[in-house]
Amino acid sequence: MQALEGIKVLDLCRNAPGMFCTTVLADLGADVLMVERPMDEARSAYEKLVAGIDGEEDERRHAAFNVLQRNKRSIALNLKEPEAQQIFHKLAEPADVVVEGFRPGVLDRLGAGYEKVRSINPRVVYCSVSGYGQDGLYSQMAGHDINYISFAGALGLIGEQDGRPAIPLNLIADYAGGGLCGAVGILSALMAREKTGSGQYVDIAMSEGVLYMLSGLVSDVLSRGISAERGGNRLNGGAPYYNVYRTKDDKYFSVAAIEPWFWENLCRAMGLEDLLPHQDATGEKKAEVEQALAEAFLAKTRDEWFEALKDANISVGKVYSLQEALDDPHAQQRGMVLEIEASTIPEGKVRQVATSIHLSDTPGQVRHLGSVTGQHTSKVLEELGFDAASVADLQRRQVVQ
């Protein structure tokens, strides 16, 4: 048994934030059906360019390796067609959850908005993941992760103090502010439905998710008027004891000796006892402390420093590449890399990252690999009562694919 077994999800998402949200649900056992648009020439050319896909075999291979498509089936509906909207309405009748990531109002025009779905199914939990929310001055603006973290104040805090903001990967707004917050909102609404019997609307704005995650710094602004600065806060590069240092082999090592006892342990382990009184030094002395640490770390390789410091009760870590992170023995022991049978591709197997949500009694799992667009259209329509001739007719008229 899995935690979300029996929960039916319709996934109308096209991009990573919503797709990651439904992946979290699918990994925990939800039955997720991707409601995709048909793969016309323009969409096919764009997606092949983005994913580096060349041909049908590559498309199947991409789907097999793509975590954002796993544990999901796919039906392709042209929602501009009334008949396709009617099919979607039939799918919505027993659905527990609908997730979409369009700009506000788009799905209303396609007959798949919240009010329409709620009129069909009052128990539905309908989640919209957007950049700026369903109302407000910016609700209709286009955007991506970099824009959302800009407006939330996060981008301005990342980077060196005297440099321009450093652009992080699209993890903060897309995957955390959108995907994870969306999943939490949906699960909360499902819990509430157990008490009230009714579904509800979940409005997730990625920019607000980022601002919410900045709550500790926001509290300082609102209570004391103190605003963090790029590279000036102790947790964003402004402190020698919470920083990264280059090592002898031209790699990097991270140190987080925030607590005084961690700082003491670090200084003694590195033979830098003269730095003990200067953990919170400022000005020129702070620069001296940082320089001393930087020079000391150049004496050994990254891995040598890890072996020397990992058991000294200090918060330290090796700055990994993604491949190194996957190969790390701790990640392997914890089961964070899965090897899965894949009969649809020449390799016969794929490796994927596992879910990080470890449940003791109802663990997440990969039940099947990713689906290509429209892979289950015929099967899903048959489940809705369409016969083979009707399905063929709908496909011929490009209502479905």
- Of the chain, the percentage scoring pLDDT greater than 90 comes to 91
More confident residue, 40 or 215: 215
pLDDT at 281: 95
**Radius of gyration from C-alpha coordinates of the chain:** 25
Residue 345: pLDDT band (50, 70, 90) is confident
Is the model's pLDDT at 236 over the cut of 90? Answer: yes
Q: What's the distance, CA 128 to chain centroid?
A: 15
Domain ranges of the chain: 8-212+339-396, 242-326
Residue 347: pLDDT band (50, 70, 90) is confident
What's the CATH superfamily of 242-326? formyl-coa transferase, domain 3 (3.30.1540.10)
Is the model's pLDDT at 71 over the cut of 80? Answer: yes
**Nearest CA among 100, 162, 156, 158 for reference residue 126:** 100
Across the range 317-345, mean pLDDT stands at 95
Rounded-to-5 percentages of helix, strand, coil across the chain: 45, 15, 40
Q: Catalytic pick from 31, 145, 174, 278?
A: 174
Q: Catalytic pick from 144, 203, 280, 328?
A: 144
174 catalytic residue (yes or no): yes
Which CATH topology does 8-212+339-396 take? Rossmann fold (3.40.50)
**Residue 51 to residue 66: CA distance in whole angstroms:** 10
